[in-house]
Structures are given as C-alpha cells and as structure tokens.
Amino acid sequence: MTNERTNENGLTVLIVGAGPTGLTLACELARSGVSFCLIEAATGPQPGSRGKGIQPRTLEVFDDLGIVDRVIANGRMGMPIRSTAPDGKVTLGGTETLGDRPDVPYPASLVTPEWRVEESLRLRLTELGGAVEFGTALVNFEQSDESVSAKVINGGKTETIEARWLVGCDGGHSLVRRLTRIAFEGETRDEIRMIVADVEVDGLDRDAWHTWSHAEGMVSLCPLPSTNVFQYQAGIGPEQDRELSLANMQTILEQRSGRTDIRLYGPEWTSLWRLNVRIVDRYREGRVFLAGDAAHIHSPAGGQGMNTGIQDAHNLGWKLAAVTKGASPTLLDSYESERRPVAVGVLALSNARLKQAIDQKDITIRRDATTMQLGISYRGSVLARDDRDETATLRAGDRAPDATRLTTVKGERRLFELTRGGRFTLLNFDATAPIEASPTEIRTLHVVGQPTGPDDITDSEGYLANAYCATDRTLVLIRPDGYVALISDAGDVSAVSGYLAAIDRERISSM
C-alpha cells in the first residue's frame, strides 16, 4: 500500500541524503521559511571521522548559519603536522595561518571529525524547526514541468512524496544521479587504496598529526579533537594486505614508522578507500539538482571534499528560497554555472596534492591559500555586475570580505555579524544616496560619520573601506551566500534597483 504525503501548501524541496551537504541545505531552507523534507536511508547518524578538515571559507558559512562556535569548540585550528622521514628527520608543518586580518575571521583550517560537523548541523536544524527522517530510502521518482513525485520506503511501508524540487545529496553512489541518468565522468583507480580507521592509541601524544613516510607508502595518526581516538590512514599498494583488521594496521604502523612502542586499540570505525575522480556533466535535470559528492568526488588530499559540498548547498539554498518567494526561476540556472567550475578546480587541486603525496610517500604538510577556499570567485557569472576595470582587487563575484571595528548604535560589530541571515545586504558608502525599496529581502547599511540609527555603521579604523576599495560614493551589494553581487563606484543607485528587479521578476540572463 502506498501513502501520499501532502500538506496544505505543498512541499517545496525534497532533500535526499543527510550528510553535511544535505544538512546545510536543510538549514538554509529552514531559516528562510521554505518547506522541505530531509530523508536519509541510514537508520541513524553515520559513524566515523571520514572528512576531518574544515576550511576557513566553510567556517564562514557556519558563522552565517550560527554554528561556527560549536564546530570550533569540537576542533583544533591550525593543527601541526609532524612528518618523519625514513632517516628519522622530522619536519613540522601545517601551522600556517593568514594571520590577524580584519577581512578574514578564521585564518586557518580546523580539524574536527565529520560526525561532529553533522551533529552541529542537526542541532541547528532542530533549533530551526526541522529534523532528519532517518530510515527513509528513496526508491524512484518521476518529474513533470511542475513537480517531482518520489517513492520512498520507511519501515517497510511505501510512501509518495510530492515536491517542487528534489536535491540529491546522497553521496558518490547517488541513486538520484543514476535515476536522472546524468553522466559521472572520470576514473576509478583500484590500485590506489587507503585504510582509514578511528582507533585508540597508546604511546603517542595528541599534540600533532603524526605522519611517517616509507618506501611502501605513508602511515599517519591524527588525533581527533573532542574524542579519545585518532584517525589512522595508510596507503596500500596493489600487492599489500588490505585487510581491515587491527593486526594488519598495527603491522603496517610498525613497519613504516619503525616504532613498536605505539599500540593501537579498537577500531571504532574502518573503511577501505579507493581513488575515484569524477564529476557530473551537469548539475541539474529539470527539477532535480545534485550537490556534494553526488556531483563530484575526488581524493581527500588537500581537505576539499566536504567543504565543496557544503558550499554547493550554501549556493543553491538561497536561490531555491528566493525562487520560492517569487524570484525568477532562471536564477536556479546559475547554480551549475557557478559551482561546476569550482568543482573542476577542486579536482585539479586534489589530484595535484595526491600525486605529490604518492611521489613523496607522505601527506603534504603545508596548508596554503589554495586549500582555504577563500579565493573562490564567481567573476563572470550572470549574477556578477560592477563598473570596475579588470585590474581591481575586488570585483563582483568575489567573496565578500569581513571587516572589524565597525561602530553601531549597539556597540562594536564586525561586518559578518551584520550580514548573517540569508538575505541581501547593501553597503552604502554614500549616506545621501536614495535607495529604493525592493520586494527582495535586503538590509541597507549606511556608512556614516556617527551612527544614529539601527542600520548606521561607522568605519572606525577604515577596515571596511579598505576591504572593499571603496570611495565615498561606492555601493556594494552582497548576496545571501556572502559573495559580491554588484559594485558601483559611480554610486549608481539605478544599477542596484535594476539588479534586484531582474532577480525579482525578469530573466536573469537579461541582467
């Protein structure tokens, strides 16, 4: 027997998969008041550390969602990586940061187990009135010009869920992707394998991520903050033992580290990873979208995968919410055009880092700007407009920088505190410029000499003007996902109203 799930206003989005990507999308929709259903085939939260690196740009996403303090509390920023060569020489790295900068609130990567990230996102989702429907598996779906009809199974009962859109966040083996017959282009390399496990360890400090290089491959033990375990990683060649037993992991550790004083216990979770490098040829089929590992998978080198999926959701979420509230449906076309090039770049970076790791028989110990994802830009996007020339440091499409020491009537604030909430923000450096009202939810921040109203800010140290290269006529429109939509150094108010009008009711391609 099949039951049909409906509600008075109709369901807006069905999200398949409750990993970091699906949870981020659900939080985005929940805070925007958009109805959704988040289903997960597993009967409960997934175990294991899995991805453990959170990049600074993703921390900014978490700041916007209101969970960054929880995530940081369960992690460690700038964890040192102690690499030991076969001759015993020790190299220390991984502590590189961007320093104390007013435009970058989180200057280093964070190490924390993936299940902790999911835990924080689920808690936030609960606070926003949402929940994960565990034990609910997608079976099939059909779509029309108006909606998607999905069949799911929960507890042996079949149910039909109707929604305006469906988003597949269901990982590398995505059923959503297979059902849409979207090509997953790339390669699988069975000869490149790695044992990954969460183990308890005696005889090793938790002050650093320990790695050892060896002719047979690397082995590493990374202490996982807020837990009593380490993540174990060991590269396994075609002729080597791939058994996921404690005895095999202990043997590999002793052979490659040359130490017999380190003892492993457990393990709590194990996995045999193999290299898959793939990306979909398109992110959308009608009313069905793909995000995260369902759209792109690659090596863990460089710590990019989970972060890229979370940012997929951050990009798609505000656009779905805007269209639900009456924006042009063509806004959704920009999801693929903006995010697929990012994934292509991430695959190239991960491949380069992996090749380096294979050649060195060790992990890359240096973290730099290429892995932090602060340089991701949508320049050239249909959603990016400005009157600056190509030599400008900041252009439309770039990440909107933070700024500290802003004075408001409620005290000192930083810009990111004022732009939270999933809406457009206009920075008006010309206090005399008249800004027309717009149906699009927008907050205008007036840069003034002395704040007198709730939307006035004083750039006390000049950090805001410096970050945005602003004059006293500049207008900067910031998107809900923290990227610059529009810059007008000429103070063209009509450019701002025209941009918002295009999103509200016109074809985005005509902007």
Looking up residue 393, the CATH number of its domain turns out to be: 3.40.30.120
CA distance 165 to 36: 9
Assess contact for 126 and 23: CB atoms under 8 A. Answer: no
- Kindly give the residue spans of alpha helices, DSSP state H, lying in 175-272: 175-180, 246-257
CA distance 195 to 244: 7
Same domain, 358 and 222: no
Asked if the structure places residue 31 within a domain, the reply is yes
Q: Supply the pLDDT for residue 182.
A: 97
Q: Supply the pLDDT for residue 1.
A: 40
CB atoms < 10 A from the CB of 78, how many? 14
Asked if the structure places residue 90 within a domain, the reply is no
Which of 246, 275, 304 is the last residue before a domain boundary? 275
Helix (H, G, I), strand (E, B) or coil at 453: coil
Same domain, 282 and 271: no
DSSP state string for 263-318: EEEEEEEEEEEEEEEEEES-SEETTEEE-GGGTEE--STTS-HHHHHHHHHHHHHH
Burial (CB count <10 Å: 0-12, 13-18, 19+), residue 55: buried
Asked if the structure places residue 94 within a domain, the reply is no
Q: Supply the pLDDT for residue 237.
A: 82
Q: Supply the pLDDT for residue 496.
A: 92
Determine the angle formed by the axes of helices 305-324 and 20-31, rounding to 10 degrees: 30
Q: Supply the pLDDT for residue 192.
A: 80
Q: Supply the pLDDT for residue 7.
A: 41
| Token pair recorded at residue 244 | 């996921």
Q: Supply the pLDDT for residue 499.
A: 92
Same domain, 266 and 297: no
Same domain, 160 and 308: yes
Residue type, 345: G
| Token pair recorded at residue 31 | 């805070």
CA distance 458 to 73: 31
Query: For residue 483, what is the DSSP state?
Result: B
| Token pair recorded at residue 196 | 């990954």
Same domain, 157 and 175: yes
Asked if the structure places residue 80 within a domain, the reply is no
CA distance 386 to 490: 10
CA distance 275 to 258: 27
Same domain, 299 and 248: no
The CATH number of whichever domain residue 206 belongs to comes to 3.30.70.2450
Q: Supply the pLDDT for residue 94.
A: 77
Q: Supply the pLDDT for residue 357.
A: 59
Asked if the structure places residue 357 within a domain, the reply is yes
Q: Supply the pLDDT for residue 364.
A: 58
CA distance 485 to 377: 11
Which of 275, 303, 337 is the last residue before a domain boundary? 275
Same domain, 179 and 196: no
Same domain, 472 and 403: yes
Residue type, 176: V
Q: Supply the pLDDT for residue 8.
A: 40
CB atoms < 10 A from the CB of 204, how many? 18
Asked if the structure places residue 93 within a domain, the reply is no
Which of 340, 372, 404 is the last residue before a domain boundary? 372
Range of the domain at 175: 2-75+105-185+277-372
Asked if the structure places residue 33 within a domain, the reply is yes
Same domain, 427 and 487: yes
Same domain, 214 and 297: no
Spatial neighbors of 8 by CB under 8 A, at least 6 apart, are none
Q: 416: part of which helix (H) or strand (E)?
A: helix 415-419
CA distance 492 to 160: 50
Write the CA distances from 4 to 138, 306, 349, integer angstroms: 14, 33, 45
Q: How, if at all, do strands 442-447 and 424-428 pair?
A: parallel
Half-sphere exposure of 238 (CA within 13 A, CB side): 3
Mean pLDDT per 10-residue segment, the chain (511 residues): 52 97 98 97 94 94 97 95 92 83 94 96 98 98 96 95 98 96 87 91 96 92 97 88 93 96 95 89 97 89 81 97 93 96 83 62 58 90 95 96 97 97 93 64 92 95 97 96 97 91 67 53
The CATH number of whichever domain residue 354 belongs to comes to 3.50.50.60
Determine the angle formed by the axes of helices 333-360 and 305-324, rounding to 10 degrees: 180
Same domain, 260 and 233: yes
**What number of residues does the chain have?**
511
The domain total for the chain is 3
Q: 408: part of which helix (H) or strand (E)?
A: strand 406-408
Asked if the structure places residue 83 within a domain, the reply is no
Backbone angles phi, psi at 176, to 5 degrees: -60, -45
Radius of gyration of the chain (CA): 24
Q: How many degrees, rounded to 5, is the angle at CA 486 between CA 498 and CA 395?
A: 150
CA distance 316 to 313: 5
CA 490 from chain centre, in angstroms, equals: 34
Spatial neighbors of 1 by CB under 8 A, at least 6 apart, are 157, 158
Same domain, 20 and 157: yes
